[in-house]
Amino acid sequence: MANLYDLKKFDLNLLVIFECIYQHLSISKAAETLYITPSAVSQSLQRLRGQLNDPLFIRSGKGITPTTVGVNLHHHLEQNLNQLEQTINIMHSSGLKKNFVIYCPHFMSTKATLDPIKLLMDNHNYSIELHDVFLSSDSAEDLLAYRRADLIFSFSSSNNHSVACSLYHKLPFVLVCREGHPRLSENPTREEILNENFTAYLNDENSFKDYQEKAESLLTKRNIVYRSDSFISLLSVIGSSDLIGLVPAPAFEQYGPALNLRKVETDIRFPSIDIYMMYNRSALNSSAFASFIEELSLP
């Protein structure tokens, strides 16, 4: 049994602030997450340092890194704080919110994300709020930290301690043109393909740049005349012109018939791109959310 008198003398809020600093390795980000000032975070850290007789964090380059005592404290705290949060959630009967917020790249608003969305609506009785925007890993982590998102799909993975991140889907790409294209036969040669004008997707994320470099090595010196950060725009332009381009296979399968598109059959094997699924680890304290994650599987 816990010694309640000793616990009463100890400010447990200091441990919460320590854990937040540990997760972000930043006093300013911890302050933003907890909606307090950086000065208040620093003062709390100083108090905890005094009580534990250890600096807990030391300077490392432009950031901070935990000491061995800090690492050990985190290992003991992480599970205990999760259990405490779970107890509070049970007492408040909070579970999952009725409104479930998902962020994903807009071209993933097809079967790749429809399955988990249908699962939430049909099996768990939640309303869905879907934001079809692309997010960098930093933006995704911030949304999860501020509890502005429940589930995020992104090209980039996360190494944040508080974020659960796993590979959800390998997104294949296909080469498409419009039906009745005047020059491309059913099985064109590489030379015939490279004689055409191309579309290209605009994205500065490193993971997508890697994909673009691989595609460029397969279609060397292709002539790109139309670029867009919207795959729907690319599909529409391809369907109404003689341009050709690489598009996600699920987007082609869903919108191809309506936009007068056909797949260009070729021996060239185009690379896929990884889609990662992210959510707060603490969300698993909800039995409904944990059940939902268990039911999800790679498409």
Per DSSP, 244 falls in state B
**What pTM, to 2 d.p., does this model score?**
0.64
pLDDT in tens, 48-99: 999 889 999 999 888 899 999 999 999 888 878 777 766 666 544 444 457 8
pLDDT grade for 5, boundaries at 50, 70 and 90: low
Buried b / exposed e along 246-258 (16+ C-beta atoms within 10 A): bbbbbbbebbbee
pLDDT in tens, 232-243: 899 999 999 999
- Mean pLDDT confidence for 126-144: 82
Distance CA 134, CA 207 (A): 12
Which residue did the predictor score with more confidence, 9 or 58? 58
Residue 45 has pLDDT above 90, yes or no: yes
Which residue did the predictor score with more confidence, 193 or 62? 193
For residue 232 the two structure tokens come to 């729907």
Residue 113 has pLDDT above 50, yes or no: yes
pLDDT in tens, 231-272: 889 999 999 999 999 998 988 988 899 999 999 999 999 999
Which superfamily does CATH assign the domain made up of 99-170+274-295 to?
Periplasmic binding protein-like II (3.40.190.10)
Query: So what's the pLDDT on residue 67?
Result: 93
Q: Where are the domains of the chain?
A: 4-92, 99-170+274-295, 173-271
Q: What percent of the chain has pLDDT over 70?
A: 89
Going by C-alpha positions, the residue among 108, 159, 158 that lies closest to residue 133 is 108
Q: Do domains 4-92 and 99-170+274-295 have the same CATH topology?
A: no
Going by C-alpha positions, the residue among 167, 150, 147 that lies closest to residue 158 is 167
Strand partners, 155: none
* Domain 4-92 in CATH 1.10.10.10: yes
Query: So what's the pLDDT on residue 109?
Result: 54
Query: So what's the pLDDT on residue 94?
Result: 46
Q: Is the dihedral of CA 260, 111, 148, 23 positive or negative?
A: negative
pLDDT in tens, 13-28: 898 899 999 989 999 9
Query: So what's the pLDDT on residue 2?
Result: 59
Query: So what's the pLDDT on residue 26?
Result: 92
Query: So what's the pLDDT on residue 78?
Result: 80
Q: What are phi and psi of 158, to 5 degrees?
A: -130, 140
pLDDT in tens, 195-243: 999 999 888 777 778 888 899 999 988 999 999 988 889 999 999 999 9
**For 173-271, which CATH class?**
alpha beta
Specify the DSSP element, H or E, that contains 99.
strand 99-104
Give 64-72's long-range contacts (Cβ < 8 A, gap of 24+). 64/21, 64/25, 64/26, 64/27, 65/25, 66/22, 66/25, 70/18, 70/22
